[in-house]
Amino acid sequence: DIQMTQSPSFVSASVGDRVTITCRASQVISRYLIWYQQKPGKAPNLLIYAASNLQSGVPSRFSGSGSGTDFTLTITSLQPEDFATYYCQQGDTFPYTFGQGTKLEIK
């Protein structure tokens, strides 16, 4: 199975800050990398697909980059509604696998 490792697991930031979350795959997954946002008690919401494509309706302060095994999610100018948990997922090979999550908290 492809292991997905996110870092950091927790990040504390303030409104207006820029935050970067990293996701590393245990083997090459080309660009089949997806990012989700999950708020407490809610289902996850797809933010970025194919490593760098913004899902319709997602604010442009979210961006993704990377290929191969290393990927990043960047949020510029954090807004109050961005404080949530973020997951990466590889869609290259079954079984699909998720990173362990990164919880973004308000400083």
Chain-centroid distance of CA 31 in Å reads 14
State how far the Cα of 96 lies from the Cα of 73, in Å rounded to an integer. 19
- Give the residue, chosen from 45, 52, 67, 74, that forms a contact with other proteins under the rule CB under 8 A: 45
Residues 91, 96, 99, 101: is their CA dihedral positive or negative? positive
100 binds other proteins (CB under 8 A): yes
Taking the complex as a whole, the smallest distance from the CB of residue 77 to other proteins amounts, in Å, to 25
Size of the site for other proteins (CB under 8 A): 22
Which residues partner with 64 through β-bridges? 73
Residues that bind other proteins (CB under 8 A): 1, 34, 36, 38, 43-46, 49-50, 55, 87, 89, 91, 94-101
